[in-house]
Structure formats: C-alpha cells, structure tokens
C-alpha cells in the first residue's frame, strides 16, 4: 500500500488517492480502510433492492436510488463511507461524489461487515439530519431491520423476520414484501432459526 495511505487524509484528498489496486476503501478518521469483498448473495440483495426502489421512484424525479453511495459524516472532513445503496430527492449535480441529503440508507450485512456496519456506520447515519430510515438486511438469512426516525433524537426499530413481512419506507412511500428483496438468493438452512434476531436484538418496535 502507498505510504500516503498511512497519513491522515481529508475527504478531498481521499477522493483523488489511488493505491494502484482495485481495492475499495472507506475513509475513517482520515485513514483509508479496505472494504471486505462482497459475496454473490450480498450483490443479489442489493440489486433487488435497487431495482424495486428505483422502479418506485421512476415517477418522482429528481428522487433516485444510488448503489455504492458515498456518505459524508456530519461536521467531519476525514470520514467518507460507502453505503450499499441510498435514496435522495435532491437533484444530481455534475461532479458529485457523495449522495446529497440522503433520506434512506440500506446496508446488507455479512459476517465480515456486520460489526463495522453496526458499530461504526450506523451511528454516523443516525447523525445525518436528512436521514429518515436506515435498513439493515442480513445476507445469510431472511431478516431485516428498519431504523425509523421519530424526531430529532429518537428512533424506532422494526424487525422483519417473515417472508411476507412488509418493508415500509414512509419517507419515499415505498412498500415491498421482504421476500422480494431475497428473490433468487439461496439462503441454505439457518442453524439458529429464521426468526431469531442477530446480536441479541429483541423483536418488536422499541424506541431508541
């Protein structure tokens, strides 16, 4: 890796930095951190979500869904994250890297990314004033979480564990059965059971 990778960068420096490989990076506290490679299940789920949400937004320009969306941490020049997909209704401007004023952010969790997505990225996403809903989908079994903003500081958590459970995103008037996002994905068999929540999260609609 280039020596520059070990120096604290600004977002502007990071966006023009190249380590000479095809590795994807996020910028965390000024340091480029390699992103784990994604498996086909992850890619299929992202593709399904992008297609269904994109279709729902077709009649609502300039609203759009963007995969591999750049996300900026509020009040920071040294953090740049890449979400699996995000939705904005702000017009696109030529030369943009980060998605402006995201309303919805979706991350697909895997064993190699879940800890980072929950502990590092989720608090940042909640701190973005425009974000109304954050969706976490499990890549290895049918399971989803919707973190829904109630007001400036409080969030509601909805767990989706059944195939016909509706993923509802009020901020963009979107509703889709959870199973549609997992179409064409072979989830195999789950030794813990499909209805059990990861990381010890209880089911229901707690206010956070």
- Output the pLDDT for position 87: 98
Cβ(157)–Cβ(173) under 8 Å?
no
pLDDT value, residue 204: 46
Structural domain spans, the chain: 1-35, 38-70+81-200
pLDDT digits (tens, 9 = 90+) for 30-44: 999 999 888 899 999
Q: What is the pLDDT of residues 93-115, one digit of tens each?
A: 999 999 999 999 999 999 999 99
pLDDT of residue 152: 81
pLDDT, tens digit, for every residue of 46-57?
A: 999 999 999 999
Share of the chain above pLDDT 70, in %: 88
**pLDDT at 200 > cutoff 90:** no
Averaged pLDDT score across all residues of the chain: 90
pLDDT at 6: 62
What pLDDT digit, counting tens, does each position of 145-183 carry?
A: 999 999 888 999 999 999 999 999 999 999 999 999 999
Instruction: Give the fold, CATH level 3, of 38-70+81-200.
Output: tt1808, chain A (3.90.1570)
pLDDT band at 207 (very low <50, low <70, confident <90, very high): low
Report the run of H or E that residue 56 belongs to, with start and end: helix 40-57
């Amino acid at each position: 890796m280039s020596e520059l990778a070990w120096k604290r960068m600004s977002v502007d420096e990071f966006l023009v930095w190249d380590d000479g490989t095809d590795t994807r990076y996020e910028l965390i506290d000024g340091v480029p951190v390699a992103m784990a490679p994604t498996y086909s299940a992850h890619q299929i789920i992202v593709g399904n979500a992008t297609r269904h949400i994109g279709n729902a937004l077709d009649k609502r320009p300039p609203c759009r869904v963007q995969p591999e969306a750049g996300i900026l941490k509020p009040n920071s020049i040294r953090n740049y994250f890449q979400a699996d997909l995000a939705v904005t209704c702000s017009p696109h401007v030529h030369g943009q890297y980060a998605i402006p004023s995201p309303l919805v952010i979706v991350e697909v969790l895997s064993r190699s990314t879940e800890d980072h997505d929950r502990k590092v990225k989720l608090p940042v996403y909640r701190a973005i004033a425009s974000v109304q809903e954050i969706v976490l989908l499990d890549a290895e079994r049918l399971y989803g979480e919707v973190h829904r903003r109630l007001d400036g500081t409080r969030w509601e958590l909805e767990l989706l564990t059944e195939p016909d459970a509706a993923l509802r995103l009020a901020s963009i008037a979107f509703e889709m059965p959870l199973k549609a996002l997992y179409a064409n994905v072979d989830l195999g068999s789950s030794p813990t059971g499909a209805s059990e929540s990861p990381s010890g999260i209880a089911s229901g609609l707690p206010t956070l």
